[in-house]
Chain A
Amino acid sequence: MSVASDAFGGPAPPGRSRADLSSEKTHILGDRVFQGLTGAMAGLVFLVLAGAALAMLWGGMLAFRTFGARFIYSADWDAVNHRFGALVPIYGTVVSSAIAILIAVPISFGIAIFLTELAPRWLRGPVGAAIELLAAVPSIIYGMWGLFVFVPFVASDIEPWMSGHLGVLPIVGPLFSGPPIGIGMMTAGIILGIMVIPFITAVMRDVFGAVPRELKESAVALGATTWEVVAKVSLPYTRTAVVGAIFLGLGRALGETMAVTFVLGNAHDFSLSLFMPGNSIAAAIANEFTEADSPIYVSSLIALGFLLFVVTFIVLALAKLMLVRLGQGEGRQA
């Protein structure tokens, strides 16, 4: 005699009818469909990513084949003689993003700590709302503000001061020398830094707020100061999310187009000085794509896009590596 079984294979509890059992079977089917659907969506992400990368690799094939490895380190950008090289755009993208992160991370960290630990309760709401509003400002507004308000200030006050005081130092001098035109790598880096602060701050604030109170209270009970609680309890606990937030901001800075093209100067010149104009991958593509009149020109621009993919991928890989190394350190202390 077969015993009616419930959905999990065990004997059906007494009093369960066939209708109940069949609805449980539908639930299994529903679960499987749900699993399948969500799995398909996750797979779609991979497909889109792979598709975009492959499409750009395909489009840039002509450039890679014509110039070979020279494409990555050549500073040429000559549309008349069909000679292109990605050094200047890659350098500009990396340097302006690095400056942006150098500025944004300490500031975001400070804002997040202030909002979660130090600020009086009535201040947290308005400051939090202001941060979110800053995130919603379109990037082209940052570019326009940068060009019309910030650039003259940089040209008349900041750059002369820096070239006078920092331009004469032995090793870092060349970084801070040059005519103070205001438009350049440093200004672009500062504007980008201001743009990514809201993103990093928002994530940091959320994760610092999610640190369990018991952990913090235990540390305080052992005599830790506020700073020690933050540095030795909150930060290690939220390490993964903090690094993730920083790389989210970095990813935003790497791909930013309009704000950068207003203040970076769009000059295909390689120069060590941060005061000089440069170019970034996104700005070069946005500026030149519609009028690119030869196949090698279009292919070079698409190849630039593919290289941006590669740069972002390398940056993410470094992030993962850093997280793994930090995690290893933690195990040993226990």
Chain B
Amino acid sequence: MMGTRFARRVALAAGAVAALCGPVAAGEITGAGSTFVYPILSKWSADYSAKFGDRVNYQSIGSGGGIAQIKAGTVAFGATDKPLAPEELAQAGLAQFPVVIGAIVPVVNIAGVRPGQIKFTGPVLAAIYLGVIKNWNDPILHKLNPALRLPNAAITVVHRSDGSGTTYNWAYYLGEVSAVWKKDVGAGTSIQWPVGVGGKGNEGVAAYVNQIPNSIGYVEYAYVIQNHMKWGYVFNNAGRFVAPTVAAFQAAAATADWAHSKDFDLVMTNAPGPAAYPITATTFVLMYKQPKDPALSQSALKFFKWSLEHGQPDATALDYVWLPPVLVKQIERYWAAQIK
């Protein structure tokens, strides 16, 4: 009797161990990368698995980590805020497509200035971040904002201390509007900031801007909404001051030149449309063109197809911006052509 009870316990334990340590459960799609998309990917995967059963396991380890893991073949897809060049993609055998849109908004902390009052242009933002414009009562800022009483106070610039796709897109935009920035600083997920203090993550930048008076920082759109931060208008390529709204981000996505981009290698900043918000950015997903596990790859594509076509309510709820239908169609054609 002792023997059978013992044997049953051993079998139970072995079964539990096998279940835990066995190969990835059929239908579990693994991904890793950008922290920016983590909230929306979690929501999409929860809704998708409730409807269809396949689970998506996403680890937000940063864009650099995502690229490294997909190249090592340990995940089914990687997510990065900075697009890879077609040469690098071809060398690694990867396909790349955008999956969600975000925008980067300048925020300030100036006594008496409310959300949606202050106006910036691209060159002015570059000058502030270069340390050329040092004080809020600089004549250039006064000319842009004649109705605002900007104080005679030094500007404290806040940037990111960690490497980030947000920084990449912000720096890329500043490089597009300022030749000095492009030459002296350049664009990258981590750059040598001429001035300012660094906060860790969007949360860190938001916290610093809220704590330090007379400061300016840049954060993702979702953080501006959720923390009620004092955002500013940005002057776009078509000559208008544009507020950061979902419509403005979609206008930027619609007018960006996706059709001529190879492997969607396009940074969407400074889009030409009249209503486009100039600092809009996309997160890209990387997948193998000839995957080792074609069935898993097709499951992942089905997940993304559902998310791109039916994921709009989730995206809106979390303050993300979904891709315009024209772009979704282009992405689906790309899948059919590139990913086996």
Contacts and interface: CB of A to CB of B under 8 A. Distances in A.
Contacts of A206: none
B241 to A, nearest CB: 29
Contacts of B199: 266
A77 B163 CA distance: 13
A86 B123 CA distance: 32
Interface stretch (A42-50, A65-73, A283-291, A315-323): A283-291
Contacts of B93: none
A290 B186 contact: no
Contacts of B213: 155
Interface stretch (B60-68, B287-295, B329-337): B60-68
Contacts of A80: 185-188, 191-192
Nearest to A269: B195
Query: Would you call the interface of chain B mostly helix, strand, loop, or mixed?
Result: loop
Interface size class for chain B?
A: 20 to 34
A58 B203 CA distance: 35
B265 interface: no
Nearest to B189: A291
Contacts of A265: 197-198
Given A155-B212, A267-B198, A290 B61 contact: yes
A59 interface: no
Tell me the dominant secondary structure on chain A's binding face. loop
B154 A179 contact: yes
Nearest to B201: A287
B192 A76 contact: yes
A227 to B, nearest CB: 43
Given A78-B191, A79-B190, A80-B186, A183 B208 contact: yes
A152 interface: yes
A268 B212 contact: no
Contact of A181 (B65, B156, B188): B156
B111 to A, nearest CB: 13
B64 A290 contact: yes
A151 B209 CA distance: 12
A167 interface: no
Given A147-B207, A183-B212, A292 B190 contact: yes
A90 B215 CA distance: 27
A241 B212 CA distance: 42
A65 to B, nearest CB: 22
B172 to A, nearest CB: 11
A266 B163 contact: no
Contacts of A60: none
Contacts of B197: 181, 183, 265-267, 277
B92 to A, nearest CB: 14
A314 to B, nearest CB: 27
A292 B185 contact: no
A193 interface: no
A333 interface: no
B211 A291 contact: no
A96 interface: no
Interface of A: 76-81, 147-148, 151-152, 155, 179, 181-183, 261-262, 265-269, 277, 283, 287-288, 290-293, 297
11 contacts: A76-B192, A79-B191, A80-B186, A147-B207, A148-B207, A179-B154, A265-B198, A267-B196, A283-B161, A290-B62, A293-B67
